[in-house]
């Protein structure tokens, strides 16, 4: 028996192999054994070793001086095999992180985590061929002709990550930049990975427009699951992006509380989405095996590729910032502290007291075997303020200090957190609102100001609301109000204000996020105090109903109902429906205007062709809403 893989198979790199047919199988090398035989037929089993490079193989039989092609096969990683580097012992986790094609991606804010459906479709027709084409293109552009490296899940993860978001490599996706909207699909409109991968192939490997962090992570999950690497999508809230491993980041606001950004970028994102992949790290000590963080979103790194990882999650938690790959970037993103500065009219900067933000909160992923959100923050960091956290930070600082004294300036380095400003114990400000609201509701704001000092204080308070993108970039200032009042010693002033729906209805943005700010100035000392909150605006109810029983191959009907809670009609409503195994491809339906307090119902005819749990997803866009998704799962009985 002989086999060959790749365009230029070679015995030297293990992509061209010959081995005899015997009665004994050797698990550590290629072997073939006769299982059954008669005068006309042989049944032969061929067994590859666990460390064989994945890929497409041609299988030949040699007899005397003749040989013939027996066929072609595709070899993947095998998480069921104990000798494979991606072996995952738990069967429920294998079902979730390899076989499950329907996922959930979390976004929103740390106090209001919202679920978004995603169809990974890793076993859809042609997807495996697209995945290997992706590897071919990536390796070709990296001038890597050694197919033997494909035995390493680390190599595969880094190759796929490099391809996800890199135009010069003819990557899969073009990153959506703030303000872009033409000649492409908005990231929030994608419902699954298959249309993206199919479009990439159909366009001869030109990047698909557009993606953002959750799209990169979702497509990465599809590709790696397809290749046999257990993978999940992870979301972290309040993420310090492009810190260049700096553990102290700054945000700048004007005196009205409006965030000031340069080049339409922000340091602290409301949320960020990346991947975790399960594997043994043969290149590291055994304790670093297990979940590895992998981030395909572009980073502004001083050297090396623009993606990050795979980084052992264990190393991130323990502050082992010198471990490969890019542990320092993940560590900084979830441990940095953000200092707020106020830029005055004369362009001078003053520190804002009370405005420090802590990053890396509510790190979340879909739980195994259910649609429940699982908080995995404890995998990445010790509790805020704990003795263990202090020890990890101290260790990280020592490693950083050693790097700074022993390495060249070109090396990646952390910066120390500067000493905290000595905060005057004079005034205290607290800002509070509901963590999420339904579209159409006014935004309630509660502001409390307390004077701790021994004397009277004259104060100036500015309360504002901005709409913003998920990456922290503001869209526009929607509303502000100023207050002047004097507080006696140990006196509190409590304010209740409401921001009307009319102020945010036209400029809400695709991510439906609002940032609330309060800037308090002590008129005597000119000290500035700052508080902020971020809230999610949820869309109106979009409900999906199935009949009580649904049977494979039998026509059926689902109902989608839209209720309008607004005092104005919902105009130009379009609903896109998708459901692998329930309907063929995506369907688009245009609805009439939905009147105030009215509803509209859509009948969806479908014939399920696959049994088992099946999900139907509906995506609504209209003049008032850019992104409202709903989903429901039904168990289809086998015919």
Residues acting as catalytic residues: 213, 272, 295
Strand partners, 486: 458
Q: How many CB atoms lie within 10 A of CB 69?
A: 9
CA-based torsion, 146, 147, 153, 155: positive or negative: positive
* Cα–Cα dist 192/120, whole Å: 6
Contacts of 25 (CB under 8 A, 6+ apart): 31, 32, 33, 45, 47
Strand partners, 340: 251
Q: How many CB atoms lie within 10 A of CB 406?
A: 8
Report the DSSP pairing between strands 528-538 and 436-438: parallel
∠ CA 599-605-610, nearest 5°, is: 125
Report the DSSP pairing between strands 599-606 and 587-590: unpaired
Strand partners, 364: 235, 375
CA-based torsion, 603, 608, 614, 617: positive or negative: negative
- In three-state form (DSSP H/G/I as H, E/B as E, the rest C), the secondary structure along 199-254 is HHHHCCCCCEEEECHHHHHHHHHHHHHHCCCCEEEEEEEEEECCCCCECEEEEEEE
| Long-range residue pairs from 17-22, CB within 8 A, at least 24 positions apart, any chain | 18/62
Quick one: how far is CA 208 from the chain centroid? 18
Strand partners, 481: 463
Say whether 131 sits in a helix, a strand or coil.
helix
Burial class of residue 141 in the structure, from the number of CB atoms within 10 Å of its CB (0-12 exposed, 13-18 middle, 19+ buried) = middle
Query: Token digits for 219?
Result: 């497509």
Quick one: how far is CA 128 from the chain centroid? 22
Query: Following DSSP, what letter does each residue of 393-416 receive, concatenated?
Result: HHHHHHHHHHHHHHS-TTS---BP
CA-based torsion, 97, 103, 106, 112: positive or negative: negative
Strands (E), 38-168: 42-47, 55-63, 66-75, 102-109, 112-119
Query: Token digits for 251?
Result: 């945000």
* Residue owning tokens 């036209």: 506
Phi-psi region of 305 (alpha: psi -120 to 50; beta: other; left: phi over 0): beta
Best CA proximity match to 34, nearest among 26, 25, 43: 43
Contacts of 441 (CB under 8 A, 6+ apart): 501
Nearest-Å Rg of the Cα atoms of the chain is: 28
Burial class of residue 53 in the structure, from the number of CB atoms within 10 Å of its CB (0-12 exposed, 13-18 middle, 19+ buried) = buried
Report the length, in residues, of the chain: 639
């Amino acid at each position: 028996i002989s086999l060959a893989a790749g365009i230029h198979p070679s015995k030297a790199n293990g992509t061209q192999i010959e081995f005899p047919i015997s009665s004994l199988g050797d698990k550590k090398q290629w072997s073939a054994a006769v299982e059954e035989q008669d005068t006309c037929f042989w049944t032969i089993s061929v067994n590859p070793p666990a460390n064989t490079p994945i890929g497409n193989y041609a299988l030949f039989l040699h007899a005397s001086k003749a040989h013939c092609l027996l066929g072609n096969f595709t070899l993947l990683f095998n998480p069921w095999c104990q000798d494979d580097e991606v072996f995952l012992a738990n069967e429920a986790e294998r079902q979730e992180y390899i076989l499950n094609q329907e996922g959930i991606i979390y976004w929103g804010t740390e106090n209001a985590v919202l679920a978004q459906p995603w169809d990974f479709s890793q076993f859809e027709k042609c997807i495996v061929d697209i995945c290997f084409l992706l590897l071919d293109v990536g390796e070709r552009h990296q001038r890597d002709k050694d197919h033997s490296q494909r035995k390493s899940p680390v190599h595969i993860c880094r190759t796929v990550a490099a391809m996800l978001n890199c135009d010069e490599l003819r990557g899969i996706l073009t990153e959506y930049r703030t303000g872009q909207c033409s000649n492409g699909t908005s990231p929030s409109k994608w419902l699954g990975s298959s249309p993206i991968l199919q479009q990439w192939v159909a366009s001869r490997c030109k990047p698909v427009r557009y993606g953002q962090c959750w799209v990169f992570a979702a497509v990465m999950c599809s590709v790696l699951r397809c290749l046999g690497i257990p993978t999940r999508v992870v979301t972290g809230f309040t993420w310090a992006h492009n810190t260049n491993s700096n553990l102290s980041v700054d945000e700048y606001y004007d005196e009205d509380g409006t965030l000031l950004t340069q080049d339409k970028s922000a340091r602290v994102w409301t949320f960020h989405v990346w991947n975790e992949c399960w594997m043994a790290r043969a290149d590291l000590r055994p304790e670093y095996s297990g979940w590895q963080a992998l981030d395909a979103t572009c980073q502004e790194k001083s050297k090396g590729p623009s993606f990050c990882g795979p980084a052992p999650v264990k190393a991130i938690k323990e502050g082992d910032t010198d471990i490969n790959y890019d542990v320092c970037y993940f560590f900084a993103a979830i441990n940095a502290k953000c200092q707020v500065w106020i830029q005055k009219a004369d362009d001078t900067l003053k520190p804002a007291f009370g405005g420090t933000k802590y990053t890396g909160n509510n790190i979340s992923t879909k739980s195994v075997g259910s649609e429940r959100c699982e908080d995995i923050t404890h995998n990445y960091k010790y509790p805020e303020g704990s003795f263990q956290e202090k020890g990890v930070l101290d260790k990280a600082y020592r490693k950083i200090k050693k790097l700074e004294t022993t390495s060249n300036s070109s090396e990646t380095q952390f910066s120390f957190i500067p000493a905290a400003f000595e905060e005057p114990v004079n005034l205290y400000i607290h800002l509070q609102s509901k963590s999420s609201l339904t579209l159409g509701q006014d935004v309630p704001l509660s502001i409390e100001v307390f004077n701790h000092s021994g004397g009277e204080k004259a104060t100036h308070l500015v309360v504002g609301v901005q709409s913003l993108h998920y990456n922290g970039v503001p869209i526009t200032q929607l509303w502000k109000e100023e207050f002047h009042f004097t507080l006696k010693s140990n006196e509190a002033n409590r304010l209740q204000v409401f921001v009307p729906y009319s102020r945010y209805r036209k400029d809400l943005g695709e991510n439906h996020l609002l940032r609330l700010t309060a800037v308090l100035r002590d008129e005597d000392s000119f000290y500035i105090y700052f508080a902020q909150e971020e809230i999610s605006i949820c869309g109106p109810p979009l409900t999906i109903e199935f009949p009580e029983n649904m049977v494979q191959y039998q026509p059926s009907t689902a109902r989608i109902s839209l209720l309008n809670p607004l005092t104005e009609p919902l105009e130009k409503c379009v609903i896109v429906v998708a459901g692998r195994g329930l309907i063929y491809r995506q369907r688009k339906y245009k609805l009439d205007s939905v009147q105030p307090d009215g509803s509209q119902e859509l009948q969806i005819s479908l014939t399920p062709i696959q049994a088992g749990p099946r999900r139907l997803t509906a995506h609504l866009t209209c003049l008032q809403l850019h992104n409202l998704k709903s989903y429901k799962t039904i168990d289809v009985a086998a015919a």
